[in-house]
């Protein structure tokens, strides 16, 4: 981590401590201060440790969800609001990164709201993600209007900035110069594709983070005596059968010669493959429980899946082919013992 990043982290920590002291002095509950501190830790690690930060980013909605459930709507909303104020102080105003982290906090808050509606797990995830994506779209439109910049231009500039920062990061961690030169010469093409598949990347990442937050929140909330819907054993979850036709349709669209049409199919594929990745992870978890795999082995395999793209593909294929192979023998005459998620 660079020296400026260290200074920023120290500054963020001091701001968090000052805010926590203010909360206690104002008679606000300890839970709110704890929620603010937990969210700020995840935020600071995600921003200032780019290599492993994305793993912490996934859990950003968790403290907001937990303290919304524990404190209720009126007091629970104080946590993300205070974090937003501190973000503005640290980042020097409203930035595109703030939209990203605001969306994550809104996801946690919205999921807690959905828990009280007693919906199915699918409707809970879809409703929370829909509200977050809708709010994000409205926020970007307003931000572009205030800055008198088109949405496409704004997004394109953001993607270009992140590609440049990623290239600098690769140089700093010792990536071979030939690889860096290859990436650098292809930045325009990479930017072109990324801008046009950004909608599907946003939807897919929101779905994945929502599912991960749900899995992480259930045991924490149950241990704390908070109300959490009984969605059953989530490692037995299956994607609806009709999605396979949507997947086939997107694959056929990819055969069109026109690049813009193929990108439409690619957007659809990315979202659908994320859903099958979630199903594949449920199957992996199912067999871990069934075979009583040691915790150390589970951690190793999960880490390998997180950092090796080839394992992502394997998990996606497991989820996809489960429709025909039925790895877990669900809805067959062969009975399986109910397993915890």
Q: Are 86 and 17 in contact (CB under 8 A)?
A: no
Other beta carbons within 10 Å of 183: 15
What pLDDT score does 143 carry? 82
Low-confidence ranges of the chain (pLDDT < 70): 1-28, 50-53, 93, 174, 332-341
Q: What is the largest CA-CA distance in the chain?
A: 65
Report which of 38, 209, 202 is spatially closest to residue 108, judged by C-alpha positions.
209
What per-residue confidence (pLDDT) applies to 109? Answer: 94
For the full predicted model, state whether its pTM sits above 0.95.
no
DSSP character string of 157-207: HHHHHHHHHHHHHHHHTT--HHHHHHHHHTHHHHHHHHHHHHHHHHHHHHH
What length does the chain have? 341
Tokens found for residue 290: 């069934």
CA distance linking residue 161 with residue 187, whole number of Å: 11
Is residue 200 within 8 Å of residue 270, measured between CB atoms? yes
Q: Identify the pLDDT of residue 31.
A: 86
Contact 76, 109 (CB under 8 A): yes
pLDDT given at position 248: 94
- Give the three-class secondary structure for 288: helix
Within 10 A of 316 (CB to CB), how many other CB atoms are there? 20
pLDDT at 16: 57
In this structure, what are the phi and psi dihedrals at residue 26, rounded to the nearest 5 degrees?
-85, 0
Can you give the pLDDT at residue 13? 58
d(CA 279, CA 208): 11
First to last CA, the chain: 37
**Cβ contacts of residue 112 below 8 Å, gap of 6+?**
64, 65, 68, 69, 76
Contact present, 77 and 102 (Cβ < 8 Å): no
Q: Which two tokens stand for residue 315?
A: 């998990």
Helix axes 96-115, 30-48, angle to 10 degrees: 140
């Amino acid at each position: 981590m660079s020296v400026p990043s260290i200074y920023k982290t120290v500054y963020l920590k001091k701001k968090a401590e000052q805010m926590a002291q203010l909360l206690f002095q104002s008679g606000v509950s300890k839970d709110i201060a704890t929620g603010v501190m937990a969210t700020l830790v995840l935020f600071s690690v995600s921003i200032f440790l780019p290599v492993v930060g994305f793993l912490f980013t996934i859990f950003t909605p968790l403290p907001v969800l937990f303290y919304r459930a524990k404190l209720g709507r009126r007091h629970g909303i104080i946590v993300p609001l205070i974090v937003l104020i501190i973000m503005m102080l640290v980042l020097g105003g409203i930035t595109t990164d703030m939209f990203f982290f605001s969306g994550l906090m809104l996801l946690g808050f919205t999921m807690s709201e959905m828990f009280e509606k007693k919906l199915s797990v699918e409707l809970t995830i879809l409703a929370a993600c829909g509200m977050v994506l809708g709010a994000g779209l409205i926020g970007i439109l307003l931000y572009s209007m205030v800055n008198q910049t088109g949405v496409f231009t704004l997004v394109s500039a953001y993607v270009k900035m992140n590609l440049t920062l990623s290239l600098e990061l690769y140089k700093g961690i010792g990536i071979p110069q030939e690889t860096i030169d290859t990436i650098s010469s292809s930045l325009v093409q990479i930017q072109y594709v990324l801008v046009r598949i950004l909608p599907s990347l946003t939807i897919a990442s929101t779905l994945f983070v929502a599912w991960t937050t749900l899995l992480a929140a259930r045991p924490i909330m149950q241990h704390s005596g908070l109300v959490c819907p009984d969605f059953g054993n989530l490692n037995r979850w299956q994607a609806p059968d009709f999605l396979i036709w949507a997947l086939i349709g997107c694959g056929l669209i990819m055969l069109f010669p026109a690049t813009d049409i193929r990108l439409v199919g690619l957007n659809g594929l990315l979202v659908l493959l994320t859903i099958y990745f979630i199903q594949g992870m449920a199957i992996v978890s199912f067999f871990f429980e069934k075979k009583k795999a040691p915790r150390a082995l589970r951690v190793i395999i999960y880490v390998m899946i997180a950092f090796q793209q080839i394992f992502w593909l394997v998990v996606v294929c497991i989820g996809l082919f489960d429709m025909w192979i039925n790895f877990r023998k669900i809805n067959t005459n062969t009975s399986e013992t109910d397993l915890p998620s």
